[in-house]
């Protein structure tokens, strides 16, 4: 009765995540912990009412007021040209001032970053707000005076989880240089394509980093990135390389002048330099974050300064509930949007103490996170369901063996199923912490659905209601609103703009309109934002109490361990292998990672199937995208199930990969191939 009915999802024949979502029954509400202080700003009477729909958009001024502005805005929202919006129009500010300078009076000596190297023998290193200020200024001064960087020019950062990454982001922000951080686990090729697409003037990278006890070299990736970008017609002017450990180069590879330079040496003359923060318009681009979509080409999601930063600060304030006394640890990587908003911009804007951990949660053993939390006194902890599942599986009693003091535990990136939720709540939080399942996306800048910590009852397996000022809806195939409590799944949309919303796709405004708005827009000429609901790409159901349960993507995006990959992107990588004729990549349920990609390929005539060929496909995916995109299996098949018009029916392959009946085959031109594929996959042959 309370199971969502996925039949009605606006997804089609794709076999998207929402189609294969493992549904769980609606769970009863869990009251917020009683022994917890009720956060006064969240418990404030009238807060919800102030953010009611009829007060849109004025209520978002409250978020902007959390920031320091050079000049106050005249207009909250300019929606004259939907779906292109400008927030806090007329206002000017600087993100590095908000995240660093403004905390100096009073908090100069307080920790901004607490860096925890992966090697446990290396003690945590504290970077105070004063030191952060010095380092941001030095790098900004070098970029501006040494290299002549000018506001608006892009900088790609291929950096791992050390303080150098937030320092580089904030130095860019100080000058108005939009940064494009590429996750350090992405390959050199993926980095090169992003350098070319963003037309970045500079690449800042590192000699390498430590991961799972091993040294990972990034020098080779930088070399490849340069060559790929060059081949695309846009090589970066300079490649600036930092050593992972100051004063100690680990890579043998020589720096090739004049393009490559040792950034540590370059900075020598700027250590005590001060670089004035540029006063920037609220709609100046702050950063690009490339993410996967339905096509083979990743898109540069552009976030603009004032709206994004206000939304980051506001949601961090109300939903991560941080204040300067908190020791806060978000275990995500800054190379993803979670790290941008909830490691760097949100927490630093509020002057919090932010833990930055270099390595993986299970190194050297799955109790490491609890040792770190105990040692540093972490009060608020943020991670992904995949990490929780891993830690639970490997050391179910691990948290109980440590004296941790969490008051708030948050989760992001994928659905957290009730079983995992209860472990997080009972074992990690000892039943005394709030647990938040926060739902959002790269495009949304910050959290869109969550319960309020310490206030709202929690519901395991449900993200909760829209956050303050966000009023999501579920729509059916025809765009009609599905009312709460109807148990019908549909497309999750946000029917109004909000400050954290992406500004556009870098260099491709048309794709922005087509991807996010075309589906439910009925009058393309309309200048009323009400006609431009934002399509999230997720399927969801809304319970009678207004809480949303996210089922997963209804497009060709696969969420692997909370990381977003495009099925088409992986398919393009398969097709680079000689002999491969066709490729189809589908999501398969995984007990730890949520979902994993699985690949089906067919061969050109004259090419013989072999395990080596399947290996070559896997290696092509790793080198084009990165190890995270590695498929669980590469099935070489004689033919793909196809419609009469020649379209591959991924839905059928996805059903087979997930052990479900392949469903209706009447539209297939070649139904006979299905039984053979099924037999092979079932017998893991």
- Which one, 192 or 298, has the nearer CB to ligand WT7? 298
Q: How far is the CB of 281 from ligand WT7 (least distance, A)?
A: 26
**Minimum distance from residue 412 beta carbon to ligand WT7 (Å):** 5
Under the criterion CB under 6 A, does residue 559 sit at the interface with ligand WT7?
yes
Point out which span in 137-145, 360-368, 545-553, 634-642 binds ligand WT7 (CB under 6 A): 545-553
Q: Cis (ω within 30 of 0) for the bond into 83?
A: yes
* Region of 100-108, 242-250, 559-567, 661-669 interacting with ligand WT7 (CB under 6 A): 559-567
Based on the shown chain and the rule CB under 6 A, indicate whether residue 631 belongs to the binding site for ligand WT7. Answer: no
Chosen residue from 76, 96, 162, 291 binding ligand WT7 by CB under 6 A: 291
Q: Is 43 helix (H, G, I), strand (E, B) or coil?
A: helix
Binding mask 521-540 for ligand WT7 (x = CB under 6 A): ---------------xxx--
Q: CA–CA distance from 537 to each of 17, 209, 418, 550 (Å)? A: 10, 34, 23, 11
308-337 binders of ligand WT7 (CB under 6 A): 337
> Cα separation of 1 and 3, whole Å?
6
Q: Report how far residue 462's alpha carbon sits from residue 446's, in angstroms, rounded to the nearest whole number.
A: 18
Residue 585: CB minimum distance to ligand WT7, A: 17
Instruction: Tell which one of 382, 564, 616, 650 touches ligand WT7 (CB under 6 A).
Output: 564
Among positions 131, 437, 569, 571, the unique one binding ligand WT7 when judged by CB under 6 A:
437
371 and 402 Cβ atoms separated by less than 8 Å: yes
Rounded to a whole number of angstroms, the minimum distance from the CB of residue 313 to ligand WT7 is: 17
Paired with 626 in beta bridges are 186
Q: Residue 628 CB, nearest distance to ligand WT7 (Å)? A: 11
List, as one string, the DSSP characters of 515-569.
HHTGGG-S-TT---GGG-PEEEEEEEEE-TTS-EEEEEESSSEEEETTEEEEHHH
Footprint (CB under 6 A) of ligand WT7, residues 406-425 = 412-415
8 Å CB contact between 416 and 383: no
Q: Tell me the backbone φ, ψ of residue 360, rounded to 5 degrees.
A: -95, 155
What is the C-alpha to C-alpha distance for residues 186 and 61, in angstroms, rounded to an integer? 37
**Range 270-273 contact pairs with CB under 8 angstroms and sequence separation of 24 or more:** 270/138, 270/139, 270/141, 270/142, 270/145, 270/146, 271/134, 271/138, 272/134, 272/138, 273/137, 273/138, 273/141, 273/142, 273/145
| Least distance between ligand WT7 and beta carbon 90 (Å) | 30
Query: In sequence order, which residues have a C-beta less than 8 Å from that of residue 586 and are 6 or more positions away?
Result: 15, 558, 567, 597, 598, 600, 650, 653, 654, 657
Minimum CB distance to ligand WT7 smaller for 305 or for 560: 560
Please tell me whether residue 185 binds ligand WT7 under the rule CB under 6 A. Answer: no
User: Could you give the CA distance from residue 576 to residue 164 in angstroms, rounded to a whole number?
Assistant: 35
Query: Does residue 97 contact residue 233 with C-beta atoms inside 8 Å?
Result: no
Q: Which is nearer to ligand WT7, 162 or 338 (CB)?
A: 338
Q: What secondary structure letter does DSSP report for 400? A: G
> In this chain, which of 423, 440, 529, 635 binds ligand WT7, going by CB under 6 A?
440
Candidate residues 315, 338, 404, 618; the one interacting with ligand WT7 per rule CB under 6 A: 338
Per CB under 6 A, the segment of 399-407, 504-512, 546-554, 668-676 that binds ligand WT7 is 546-554
Residue 440 Cβ vs ligand WT7, minimum distance, rounded to whole Å: 4
Judged by CB under 6 A, the stretch of 128-136, 393-401, 552-560, 657-665 that binds ligand WT7 is 552-560
Q: 347 vs 413, which CB is nearer to ligand WT7? A: 413
Beta carbons of 471 and 53 less than 8 angstroms apart = yes
Which span sits near ligand WT7 by CB under 6 A: 29-37, 109-117, 272-280, 432-440? 432-440
Whose Cβ is closer to ligand WT7: residue 219's or residue 392's?
Answer: 392
Total interface residues for ligand WT7 by CB under 6 A: 23
Q: x-or-dash pattern for ligand WT7, window 448-477, by CB under 6 A?
A: ---------------x--------------
Instruction: Give the residue with the Cβ less far from ligand WT7, 232 or 295.
Output: 295
Nearest alpha-carbon partner for 379 in 336, 326, 430: 326
Comparing CB distances to ligand WT7, the nearer of 115 and 547 is: 547
- 550 scored as a contact of ligand WT7 (CB under 6 A): yes
CA dihedral 435, 440, 441, 447 (to 10 degrees): -90
Tell me how far apart the alpha carbons of residues 207 and 218 are, in angstroms, rounded to a whole number.
Answer: 5
Of residues 329 and 440, the one with the C-beta less far from ligand WT7: 440
Return the closest-CA partner of residue 369 out of 416, 124, 438, 360.
360
Q: Which residues would be at the binding site for ligand WT7 (CB under 6 A)? A: 291, 337-338, 412-415, 437-442, 463, 536-538, 550, 552-553, 559, 562, 564
């Amino acid at each position: 009765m309370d199971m969502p009915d996925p039949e009605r999802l606006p997804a089609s024949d794709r076999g998207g995540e929402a189609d294969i979502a493992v549904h769980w029954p609606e769970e009863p509400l869990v009251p917020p912990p009683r022994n917890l202080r009720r956060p006064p700003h969240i418990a404030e009477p009238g807060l919800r009412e102030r953010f009611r729909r009829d007060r849109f958009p004025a209520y978002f001024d409250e978020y902007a007021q959390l920031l320091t502005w050079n000049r106050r805005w005249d207009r909250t929202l300019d929606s004259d040209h939907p779906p292109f919006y400008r927030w806090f129009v007329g206002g000017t500010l600087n993100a590095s001032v908000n995240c660093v300078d403004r905390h100096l009076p009073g908090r100069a000596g307080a920790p901004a970053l607490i860096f925890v190297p992966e090697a446990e023998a290396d003690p945590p290193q504290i970077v105070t707000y004063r030191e952060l200020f010095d380092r941001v200024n030095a790098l900004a001064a070098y970029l501006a005076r040494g290299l002549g960087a000018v506001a608006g020019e892009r900088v790609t950062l291929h950096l791992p989880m050390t303080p150098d990454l937030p320092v580089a982001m904030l130095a860019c922000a100080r000058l108005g240089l939009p940064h494009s951080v590429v996750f350090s686990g992405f390959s050199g090729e993926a980095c090169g394509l992003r350098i070319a697409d963003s037309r970045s003037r500079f690449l800042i990278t590192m000699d390498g980093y430590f991961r799972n006890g091993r040294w990972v070299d990034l020098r080779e990736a930088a070399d490849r990135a340069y060559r790929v970008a060059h081949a695309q017609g846009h090589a970066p002017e300079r490649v600036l390389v930092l050593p992972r450990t100051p004063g100690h180069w680990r890579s043998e590879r020589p720096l090739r002048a004049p393009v490559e330079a040792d950034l540590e040496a370059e900075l020598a003359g700027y250590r005590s330099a001060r670089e004035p923060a540029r006063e920037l318009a609220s709609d100046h681009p702050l950063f690009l974050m490339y993410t996967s979509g339905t096509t083979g080409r990743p898109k540069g999601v552009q976030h603009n300064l004032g709206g994004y930063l206000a939304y980051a600060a506001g949601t961090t304030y109300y939903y991560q509930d941080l204040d300067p006394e908190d020791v806060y640890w978000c275990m995500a990587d800054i190379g993803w949007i979670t790290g941008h908003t909830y490691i760097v911009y949100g927490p630093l804007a509020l002057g919090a103490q932010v833990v930055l951990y270099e390595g993986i949660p299970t190194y050297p053993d799955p109790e490491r996170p609890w040792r770190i939390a105990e040692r540093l006194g972490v009060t608020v902890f943020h991670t992904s369901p995949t990490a929780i599942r891993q830690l639970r599986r490997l050391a179910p009693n691990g948290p109980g063996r440590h004296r941790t003091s969490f008051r708030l535990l948050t989760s992001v990136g994928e659905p957290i199923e009730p079983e995992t939720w209860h472990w997080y709540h009972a074992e990690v939080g000892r039943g005394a912490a709030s647990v938040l399942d926060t739902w959002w996306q790269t495009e949304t800048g910050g959290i869109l659905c969550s319960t309020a910590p310490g206030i709202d009852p929690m519901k395991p397996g449900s993200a909760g209601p829209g956050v303050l000022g966000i009023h999501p809806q579920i729509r059916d195939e025809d765009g009609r609103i599905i009312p709460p409590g109807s148990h019908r799944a549909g497309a999750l949309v946000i029917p109004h703009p909000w400050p954290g919303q992406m500004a556009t796709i870098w260099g491709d405004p048309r794709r922005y309109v087509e991807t996010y708005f075309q589906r439910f827009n009925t009058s393309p000429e309309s200048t009323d934002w009400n006609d431009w609901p934002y399509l999230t790409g997720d399927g969801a159901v809304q319970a009678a109490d207004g809480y949303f349960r996210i089922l997963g993507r209804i497009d060709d995006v696969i969420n692997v361990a909370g990381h977003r990959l495009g099925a088409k992107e992986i398919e393009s990588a398969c097709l680079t292998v000689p002999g491969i004729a066709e490729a189809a990549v589908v999501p398969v349920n995984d007990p730890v990672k949520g979902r994993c990609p699985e690949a089906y390929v067919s061969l050109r005539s004259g090419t013989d199937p072999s395990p080596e060929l399947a290996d070559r496909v896997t290696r092509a995916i790793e080198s084009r995208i990165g190890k995270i995109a590695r498929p669980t299996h590469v099935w070489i098949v004689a033919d793909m199930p196809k419609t009469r018009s020649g379209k591959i029916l991924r839905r059928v392959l996805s059903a087979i990969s997930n052990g479900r009946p392949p469903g209706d085959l009447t539209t297939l031109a070649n139904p006979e191939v299905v039984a053979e594929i099924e037999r092979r996959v079932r017998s893991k042959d």
